[in-house]
Amino acid sequence: MELVEEKKAPKEEKKMGERRVVVDKAYLYDEDKPLTVCKTSLFHTGDGFTAYDCNGDIIFRVDSYGRDNDELVLMDATGKCLLTVKRKINQSADL
């Protein structure tokens, strides 16, 4: 797997906490790719979705594994985690 990192201008310094984009070349295309997204289960809440290309091949999966569905995992076709999204916890001065 070869990764491509978004390049910044040479005079820009990297700051702590700065966001960067890193993309696997497998997901870079010269033109738009239409995807079909299907819910994986119609009976259980919190189940995920699968994205297929026009050939019927799985491109991405999204599943919720966290307790109370507070976490979503974006995976590639092989099940490798690409991104995990967690629900932000509300912080209160009352705690």
pLDDT digits (tens), the chain, 95 positions: 555 555 555 555 555 566 666 677 877 888 888 999 998 876 666 678 999 999 999 999 998 875 666 788 889 999 888 888 887 777 775 55
pLDDT score recorded for residue 47: 72
- Residue 87 per-residue DSSP state: P
Task: Spell out the residues 6+ positions from residue 8 whose beta carbon is closer than 8 angstroms to its own.
Answer: 14
pLDDT score recorded for residue 26: 79
Which residue, 86, 89, 90, 88, is CA-closest to 71?
A: 86
pLDDT score recorded for residue 55: 93
Domain range annotation of the chain: 33-89
What does the alpha-carbon distance between residue 71 and residue 88 come to, in Å, rounded to a whole number? 10
